[in-house]
Amino acid sequence: MEVAIFSSTPYERQYLDEANRSAHHKLRYFDVPLDMDTVGLAANYGAVCIFVNDNANADVLEALHKGGTGVLALRCTGFNNVDLKAAGELGMKVVRVVTYSPNSVAEHAVALLLAINRKVHRAYNRTRDSNFSLDGLTGFDLCGKTVAVVGTGKIGCVFAKIMLGFGCRVIGYDPYPSAEFEALGGRYATPGEIGEKADIISLHCPLTPATHHIINSETLKRAKPGALLINTSRGALVDTEAVIEALKSGQLGGLGIDVYEQEANIFFRDLSSEIITDDVIQRLVSFPNVIVTGHQAYLTREALTTICETTLNSITAFEKNQPLENEVKAA
């Protein structure tokens, strides 16, 4: 099957090519994201493959449908960038990668937490300048601290398990409680408990209308002063302006993010020789107690292999008119 792959990167292509050795599809790579300006590139491709910051709104889907696309394959778990209702009305199938390596994202969340707490980024920059002073680098023991896991699915459970291994108390929040989370030793928080007791809050939930800006000025006011916030899920879970104010006041003790609300025009690109006009991200990275990584939490060999194999297998199943195990539909 002919497949148009948008937002492709050199490091991804090698894994897609390897997965395609057995799938035998005709892959065409496009560096650009999918949107109304680029959708014409997908004309006559039966399958279109996109990533987290591609735009598959109703207009784009209509254009894809007219061009002959029958299946839209997301090489990611989240699908908030796809108008599922419009896809259903057009008869277009949408598939995603339900799970790849929950360890990759959970471990990156822990890396951000450790780096922020122990000021690793600041120490690294100092020692490169032969400054071995320890002033301002004091952190705290994780052992005995309370960690709130918001979203206790596969990734949240792996993160909780790691935190329990550090000797932390782990509390969770999820409208759909997980027996696995409780079996690990976590327990679900009582109303108001996360704000009162959590020393660390880590977000592991999908972006939905209900979770949009789940971290906002009101929730931050109720947070324990000096708490650390980690987000490796979706940028819009966090009201970035509210977080900046909380950082300025000291209400929030530190921030580690791998995702950002307006990342579509910034992430996955080398802008080191350009002037970034996004004042919000510029303000964020100016804080000494903030670490921003460019949506790399999923970026392990194991995860990339699974993502590419799952994506192409779904396209093969569509081509052969087989059941689509990873199909996602409008609620």
In a domain, 48, yes or no: yes
* φ and ψ of 329, to 5 deg: -130, 165
Under a CB-based contact definition with an 8 Å cutoff, are residues 318 and 70 in contact?
yes
For position 208, what pLDDT does the model report? 92
In a domain, 330, yes or no: no
In a domain, 213, yes or no: yes
Question: Which tokens go with 48?
Answer: 């279109």
Does 276 lie in the same domain as 138?
Answer: yes
Catalytic residue among 96, 204, 295, 309: 295
Catalytic residue among 12, 261, 263, 309: 263
- Does the pTM surpass 0.85? The reply is yes
* φ and ψ of 147, to 5 deg: -115, 125
Question: Which tokens go with 18?
Answer: 């390897």
Does 251 lie in the same domain as 114?
Answer: yes
Judge whether 295 counts as a catalytic residue.
yes
Angstrom distance (rounded) from CA 132 to CA 135: 9
Does 235 lie in the same domain as 277?
Answer: yes
In a domain, 274, yes or no: yes
Does 193 lie in the same domain as 119?
Answer: yes
In a domain, 251, yes or no: yes
Does 313 lie in the same domain as 250?
Answer: no
In a domain, 187, yes or no: yes
For position 92, what pLDDT does the model report? 98
Catalytic residue among 107, 234, 261, 309: 234
Total domains in the fold of the chain = 2
For position 265, what pLDDT does the model report? 86
Does 150 lie in the same domain as 270?
Answer: yes
Q: Which residues in the chain come in under a pLDDT of 70?
A: none
Does 165 lie in the same domain as 56?
Answer: no
Q: What is the pLDDT of residues 19-54, one digit of tens each?
A: 999 999 999 999 999 999 999 999 999 999 999 999
The CATH number covering residue 8 comes to 3.40.50.720
| Nearest to 289, CA basis, from 318, 251, 323 | 251
Does 154 lie in the same domain as 52?
Answer: no
Under a CB-based contact definition with an 8 Å cutoff, are residues 91 and 284 in contact?
no
For position 113, what pLDDT does the model report? 98
Q: What is the pLDDT of residues 252-286, one digit of tens each?
A: 999 999 999 999 889 988 999 999 999 999 999 99
State the number of CA atoms in the 13 A half-sphere of 286 facing the CB: 8
Angstrom distance (rounded) from CA 306 to CA 91: 27
In a domain, 228, yes or no: yes
Does 169 lie in the same domain as 21?
Answer: no
Q: Which residue has the tokens 């792959």?
A: 5
For position 264, what pLDDT does the model report? 87
Judge whether 234 counts as a catalytic residue.
yes
| Nearest to 204, CA basis, from 247, 256, 152, 162 | 152
Does 136 lie in the same domain as 270?
Answer: yes
Residue 48 domain boundaries: 2-100+300-319
In a domain, 325, yes or no: no
Does 150 lie in the same domain as 287?
Answer: yes
3-state secondary structure the chain: CEEEECCCCHHHHHHHHHHHHHHCCEEEECCCCCCCCCHHHHCCCCEEEECCCCCECHHHHHHHHHCCCCEEEECCCCCCCECHHHHHHHCCEEECCCCCCHHHHHHHHHHHHHHHHCCHHHHHHHHHCCCCCCCCCCCCCCCCCEEEEECCCHHHHHHHHHHHHCCCEEEEECCCCCHHHHHHCCEECCCCHHHHHCCEEEECCCCCCCCCCCECHHHHHHCCCCEEEEECCCHHHECHHHHHHHHHHCCEEEEEECCCCCHHHCCCCCCCCCCCCCHHHHHHHHCCCEEECCCCCCCCHHHHHHHHHHHHHHHHHHHCCCCCCCECCCC
For position 250, what pLDDT does the model report? 97
Does 165 lie in the same domain as 30?
Answer: no
Question: Which tokens go with 92?
Answer: 């277009």
Q: Return all residues near 142 (Cβ < 8 A) that are at least 6 apart.
A: 113, 117, 163, 166, 167, 168, 200
